[in-house]
Amino acid sequence: MFLIFDTETTGLPLRDNAPISEVDNWPRVVQIAWQLHDDNGNLTEHHNLLIKPDGFEIPYSAEKIHGISTEKARKHGLPLVEALEKFNDSVVKSTLLVGHNIRFDINALGAEFIRSEVTTDFLQKEQVCTMRSSTDHLKLPGGRGGKFKPPKLMELNESLFEEQFMEAHNAAADVEATARCFFELLRRKVIAPESLGLNPEQYSRFISLNQKKIGPYGISHRSNWEEDVEAEADSADPSDESSPATATEGTEAVAEERPEAKAEEQQVDAGFCHLHVHTQYSILDGAASIPELLKKAIDDGMHAVAITDHGNMFGAKEFHIEATRRGIKPILGCEAYIANRERHSKKDKNQDGFAHVVLLAKNHKGYLNLITMISLGWTEGFYYKPRIDRELLEKYHEGIICLSACLGGEIPQAIMHRTVEEAERIALEYKRIFGEDFYLELMRHRTDDPGMNKLVFDDQVFVNRTLLELGRKLGIKCVASNDAHFVNMEDAEAHDHLICLNTGKDLDDPTRMRYTRQEWFKTQGEMKDVFSDLPEVLNNTLEVANKVEPYELNSNPVMPYFPLPEGFSNEDEYLKHITYEGAARRYPELSEEVKERIDFELGTIQRMGFPGYFLIVQDFISAARDMGVSVGPGRGSAAGSAVAYCLRITDIDPIRYNLLFERFLNPDRVSMPDIDIDFDEDGRDDVLK
């Protein structure tokens, strides 16, 4: 007997490779459906059960996929033990378990059996996975390492039966589709009959009874959404973000999120400035050049603008200079990656992943704290992305304004994938750290594409409702933003190409990452249209901008301290000493020409304040040679320095080849020296360590 089954759950496991015994790792099952078939493929029984949540809620993100809300499951579901016992009655009758991506369902159900302490031999049964068994048969491109991609159930169904499968993510419908696919694969011998324990006589009988393609079994499947849609028909307008937050099917239910009639009746009296903007320094993600960005801001009469590039502040200096020159207040920020656990934890991609958080410097102290955190994210927290953590926020929060970020932020993620209570806990934690400098961020990226709206805008509507409720409850203000990634609406196409380069996908790949094309640097008028019903969240952006104080970024470079050996009182004295020691080795006869050149260079280096720089570079190059690391002979303008030659920083004699020192260090143009150094590929890492 073949038991074909499927589940719907609260989400994904924390770790795919965790043992079933770690029950907290595995999602909760909210629906079980199964069919029992005999060796000839005849359907003998079928079941479809909802499970009553006990001690957990079904997250919005899961409800959005399968349509089972916490309320519906509590109303129509069975207690877990009762549902498992019914399922186990069929397990006892079976000899083989069948599923599509069966490993996930085995683990999720296995964890439930352990939780409920229901005795079963479910985990000991032989298994067949229609996904794995059909991968080489369908030969879909795009798998890992150049292999074929395992097919989704819809893809397998369409390939075998040349028809669309519309009820995906309803366990009962998925089971019937899986059963048809399983027996069709067996009929075509894609699944070998002997692997199922069928002898030639049994298989011949199966074929004689199934000479045509396997047809539907005539089971009626009611959509998980159906009852919810009926129940909500007379409920509050879902376009009103002040109404209770509930998941809806598709985009139609939230199509009129903004009360357009109200917008037409009254002129919105509000100001706005952008606090969440990605420039070209968000590498392969942002397409906004700083000059074009600022020109549009000036043309729109915007007095302040922030930049918040992903995980870096590479554009801070350019933006600060250009904005100040144009009379716009620059707000320097970063959309940082905050570790799910802590920045030093780098063991598991899921558990040690990250969320987004927007940090803005409101004064020079805040700027220094921000660049410190971002630097530590790169040097200490890098794991796929440069991650900061709570410890750094606690330590370096002074002078920083914090926004909750996009749908990838910690609070929106908790709202969608966990519970509102968890989101509230996180919001209170941020409020404790940042006080009145913490704001909840609202976005509305409504498009003319229903599919894109279902992927993004519907989530924003749901999250916005909850954020507004949390803001009122916790006393946290909300701000409007647009998460700008390009300057003008017509730049969306170029930005789309950029994302393809970033992700290594073709433009015609239906599975590739897409933006809504609403992420342009919108004018104040456009943002007033988008948030016409919430003028306060527009005005709050100006409140944030007014908190930002003007400050300078220019400062003299601070060189690291170089410890001097005994007998030397300052860096100038020691640099001269080791330079002339090196000169004695480089030049058998120290002519007056050589001495004059060395003294001239040493004097210039001393006046410009860079002796420590030369000592540091000489020190680690000497250490590299002692470690057996190959060092290049010299590249760029540093080859024009006799001091660098004497210190063995370079191996090219500038006096012999008439190279100009002034190309490297010019007393009339004070700038930091830049010595290009080449190490061999393997040795470079050793030197850095």
Distance of CA 368 to the CA centre of its chain: 25
| Residue finishing a domain among 186, 209, 232 | 209
What is the Cα–Cα distance from 354 to 386, expressed in whole angstroms? 9
637 & 529 share domain: no
* DSSP sequence for 445-488: ---S-HHHIIIIIHHHHHHHHHHHHHHHHHT--EEE---B-BSS
Domain-embedded: residue 514: yes
653 & 593 share domain: yes
- Indicate the residue type of 466: T
Supply the pTM of this predicted model.
Answer: 0.76
What is the pLDDT, as a whole number, of residue 673?
80
What is the Cα–Cα distance from 588 to 581, expressed in whole angstroms? 12
Angle at 390 (CA atoms; ends 389, 396), nearest 5 degrees: 95
Q: Which residues, 6 or more positions from 283, have their beta carbon under 8 angstroms from its beta carbon?
A: 310, 312
| The pair of three-digit structure tokens given for residue 393, joined into one six-digit string | 């926020």
Pairing of strands 329-339, 354-361: antiparallel
Domain-embedded: residue 341: yes
Domain-embedded: residue 661: yes
Q: Which residues, 6 or more positions from 450, have their beta carbon under 8 angstroms from its beta carbon?
A: 250, 251, 252
| The pair of three-digit structure tokens given for residue 593, joined into one six-digit string | 């020409």
522 & 630 share domain: no
Q: Which residue range(s) make up the domain with 68?
A: 2-209
Element (H, E) at 400: strand 400-403
- CATH classification of the domain holding 116: 3.30.420.10
- CATH classification of the domain holding 448: 3.20.20.140
602 & 536 share domain: no
What 576-579 contacts at long range (C-beta under 8 Å, 24+ apart), as own/partner pairs, is 576/602, 578/615, 578/618, 578/647, 579/643, 579/646, 579/647
Closest CA to 518 of 441, 449, 416, 439: 449
Domain-embedded: residue 233: no
405 & 298 share domain: yes
Residues of the chain with pLDDT under 50: 228-239, 242-265
* Greatest Cα-to-Cα distance within the chain, rounded to the nearest angstrom: 105
509 & 629 share domain: no
What is the Cα–Cα distance from 32 to 71, expressed in whole angstroms? 17
Domain-embedded: residue 566: no
| The pair of three-digit structure tokens given for residue 112, joined into one six-digit string | 């439930």
Distance of CA 652 to the CA centre of its chain: 47
Q: Cα torsion at 497, 503, 507, 511 (round to 10°)?
A: -140
pLDDT tens profile 90-125: 999 999 999 999 999 999 999 999 999 999 999 999
What is the pLDDT, as a whole number, of residue 635?
80
Q: How does the average pLDDT of the chain come out, rounded?
A: 89
| The pair of three-digit structure tokens given for residue 16, joined into one six-digit string | 């795919």
Distance of CA 422 to the CA centre of its chain: 20
534 & 600 share domain: no
418 & 275 share domain: yes
What is the pLDDT, as a whole number, of residue 239?
46
pLDDT tens profile 635-676: 888 899 999 999 999 999 999 999 999 888 887 766 778 888
318 & 406 share domain: yes
525 & 579 share domain: no
289 & 376 share domain: yes
Domain-embedded: residue 216: no
Which residue stretches of 390-447 are H helix? Answer: 390-396, 410-417, 420-434
| Residue finishing a domain among 209, 233, 250 | 209
pLDDT tens profile 139-176: 998 888 888 999 999 999 999 998 887 666 788 899 99
Domain-embedded: residue 467: yes
126 & 21 share domain: yes
Q: What is the domain count for the chain?
A: 3
Distances (CA, A) of 127 to 96, 99, 239, 279, 574: 6, 8, 46, 51, 75
In degrees rounded to 5, what are phi and psi of residue 83? -65, -45
What is the pLDDT, as a whole number, of residue 512?
87
* DSSP 3-state of 571: helix
What is the pLDDT, as a whole number, of residue 168?
62
Domain-embedded: residue 560: no
pLDDT tens profile 607-632: 888 899 999 999 989 988 888 888 88
Euclidean distance between the first and final Cα of the chain, in Å? Answer: 61
What is the pLDDT, as a whole number, of residue 269?
73
| Sign of the C-alpha dihedral computed for residues 339, 433, 479 and 534 taken in this order | positive
What is the pLDDT, as a whole number, of residue 240?
52
What is the pLDDT, as a whole number, of residue 255?
37
| The pair of three-digit structure tokens given for residue 37, joined into one six-digit string | 């078939």
Q: In whole angstroms, how large is the CA radius of gyration of the chain?
A: 33
| Sign of the C-alpha dihedral computed for residues 545, 548, 554 and 560 taken in this order | negative
What is the Cα–Cα distance from 175 to 372, expressed in whole angstroms? 53
Distances (CA, A) of 301 to 310, 571, 648: 26, 52, 56
